[in-house]
Amino acid sequence: MMDTIVNSSAKQSIELLRSRRSVVAKNMSEPGPTSEELELILEAGIRVPDHGKIGPWRLQVLDKSAQAMLGDVLANEFKARIPDANDAQIEFERLRPQRAPTLIVVSSNVNKEHSVPEFEQLLSCGAVCMNLLNAAAALGYAAQWLTEWPAYNNNVKHALGVTGDQHIVGLMYFGTAVEPPSERVRPDAGTVVSYPDAIPLT
């Protein structure tokens, strides 16, 4: 009986990973995760490989007020970059961080003096983003991992307390899907997976 339960649980977990699909942030609505659910998502998010136990990531949960303030930053920066932008374009940027009920900003906190390569620390940041997506899916929520131009803008980074030598790794949106997302074309495993029977000596 126990084996049946374990196997069933394992199959459900694998199926979640096999079928997870991002939902476009603008296609999300309320409700978003509750505070208790959000804590679970965050706990799962940071349970990732972290060589050297560095914790090379930081997570900021932006509530609606903070999302609106970030939207003002984006609107002002967009106007500064594109002076002839029209009102509709500027308003679109103002609303960009407010497209879904919940927004988590994942940024790097790489220790450049540590023996663990910076690249590996950044991979750990990416793993945080992926864990957040999977945890949200496990709780039945829609999620999308985005960056877009704000992630690469120094003034936006400064507003979020991310120093110029660090990175905004993900703008993570969470909510409830307005409609089920359609499946997209996935690579066939045979085109990306190989089973080499010999490794040549150099």
Report the pLDDT value the prediction gives residue 166, as an integer from 0 to 100: 98
Q: Could you report the per-residue pLDDT of 94-108, keeping only the tens digit for each? A: 999 999 999 999 999
What average pLDDT does the chain have? 94
Q: Does domain 23-179 have CATH number 3.30.70.2190?
A: no
Q: Could you report the per-residue pLDDT of 51-64, keeping only the tens digit for each? A: 999 999 999 999 99
User: What average pLDDT does the segment 158-187 reach?
Assistant: 94
Whole-prediction pTM value? 0.92
Report the pLDDT value the prediction gives residue 5, as an integer from 0 to 100: 60
Q: Where are the domains of the chain?
A: 23-179
User: What average pLDDT does the segment 123-142 reach?
Assistant: 98
d(CA 75, CA 81): 10
Nearest by Cα to 156 from 61, 72, 58, 59? 72
- Determine how many CB atoms are found less than 10 A away from the CB of residue 68: 14
